[in-house]
């Protein structure tokens, strides 16, 4: 049976996942944190998950936890995918132009900042501004991961940069502070401004009720209203590292049927929008 939310779709994108091959690519010294032995998943395992759920394409995100600024496995996985995968890199500010160009040639379409992690390249300061400018020159977007109200102080920098923005994990709101928290209000205002897209991903990271994540629905609906359907994408955050409770792919995907009861809207979120934002094409070959 085709999972809820994907039925009748010829193509669909998981817009947020990570891959690891610890045997061949050990964790890098620039990693933000360590993982348990059972947490990482490699590209073959991830492809099997996608196939089991009817997902044809994916945007892979360089995991700051594990690989830091070592993007080698990300590039290898994209290269082997026949167009099925694109990527978002984490880069040091001192990276050379030739290295950035090589990332772009290898399927990287964005650069990520983790605002709440000290190990992430800093957004603030001349280094961050220069990285944003160089990414914009390459027509990449900036993918922003944050928790709580951290976005409030970052927004002026991001807005001055003029770069397209993609926000991770619904902004990871703090449910104890409700929909009126300063960070969530700032995120909604950003969405209404029309220059950013939102990943309706990682709800298990802020839900307090757990699967099927019904308590995340008001946040998702507020984000959909602010960003509009045309600037929403969905992501799983596979392989769910550092989760505090059991997480399964199917229930995360099934949230879409609640959030987007119209099949046309689900098609936009799962294919039309990520294809436009991340450069996927209907002709991309699905690798084995």
DSSP 238: B
Q: Is the pLDDT of residue 286 over 80?
A: no
- The yes-or-no verdict on residue 288 having pLDDT over 50 is no
- Structure confidence by residue, pLDDT tens digits, 36-76: 888 999 999 999 999 999 999 999 999 998 899 999 999 99
Q: How far is CA 92 from CA 71, 105, 121, 123, 214, in A?
A: 11, 18, 6, 11, 38
**Digit-coded pLDDT (tens) for 225-278:** 999 999 999 999 999 999 999 999 999 999 999 999 999 999 999 999 999 999
Calpha distance 158→60 (Å, rounded)? 22
Q: What is the pTM for the complete model shown?
A: 0.95
pLDDT at position 272, please? 98
Rounded CA-CA distance 210/224 in Å is 21
pLDDT digits (tens, 9 = 90+) for 117-127: 988 999 999 99
When the pLDDT of each residue in the chain is averaged and rounded to a whole number, the result is 94
* Residue 70 bridge partners (DSSP): none
| Tens-digit pLDDT profile for residues 60-69 | 999 998 899 9
Residue extents of the structural domains in the chain: 13-278
Cβ-Cβ contacts under 8 Å for 7 (sequence gap 6 or more): 54, 263
pLDDT tops 80 at residue 8: no
Instruction: Return the exposure string of 14-31: e unless at least 16 CB atoms fall within 10 Å of the residue's CB, then b.
Output: bbbbbbbbeeebebbebb
pLDDT of residue 36: 84
Task: Report the CATH superfamily, name and number, of domain 13-278.
Answer: Metal-dependent hydrolases (3.20.20.140)
């Amino acid at each position: 049976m085709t999972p809820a939310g994907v039925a009748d779709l010829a193509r669909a994108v998981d817009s947020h996942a990570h891959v690891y091959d610890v045997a061949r690519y050990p964790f890098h010294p620039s990693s933000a944190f360590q993982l348990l032995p059972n947490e990482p998943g490699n590209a073959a395992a991830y492809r099997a998950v996608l196939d089991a759920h009817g997902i044809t394409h994916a945007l892979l995100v360089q995991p700051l936890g594990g690989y830091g600024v070592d993007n080698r496995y990300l590039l290898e996985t994209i290269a082997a995918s026949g167009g099925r995968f694109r990527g978002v890199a984490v880069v040091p500010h001192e990276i050379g132009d030739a290295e950035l160009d090589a990332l772009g040639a290898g399927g990287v379409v964005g650069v990520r900042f983790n605002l709440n992690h000290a190990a992430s390249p800093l957004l603030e300061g001349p280094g961050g501004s220069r990285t944003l400018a160089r990414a914009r020159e390459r027509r990449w977007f900036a993918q922003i991961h944050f928790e709580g109200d951290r976005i409030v102080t970052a927004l002026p920098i991001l807005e001055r940069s003029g770069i397209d923005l993609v926000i991770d994990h619904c902004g990871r709101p703090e449910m104890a502070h409700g929909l009126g928290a300063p960070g969530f209000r700032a995120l909604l205002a950003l969405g209404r401004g029309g220059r950013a897209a939102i990943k309706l991903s990682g709800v298990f990271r802020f839900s307090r009720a757990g699967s099927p994540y019904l308590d995340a629905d008001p946040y998702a609906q507020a984000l959909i209203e602010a960003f509009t359907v045309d600037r929403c994408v969905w992501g799983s955050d596979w392989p769910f590292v550092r989760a505090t409770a059991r997480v399964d792919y199917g229930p995360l995907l099934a949230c879409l049927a609640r959030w987007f009861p119209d099949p046309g809207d689900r098609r936009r979120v799962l294919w039309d929008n990520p294809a436009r934002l991340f450069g996927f094409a209907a002709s991309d070959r699905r690798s084995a």
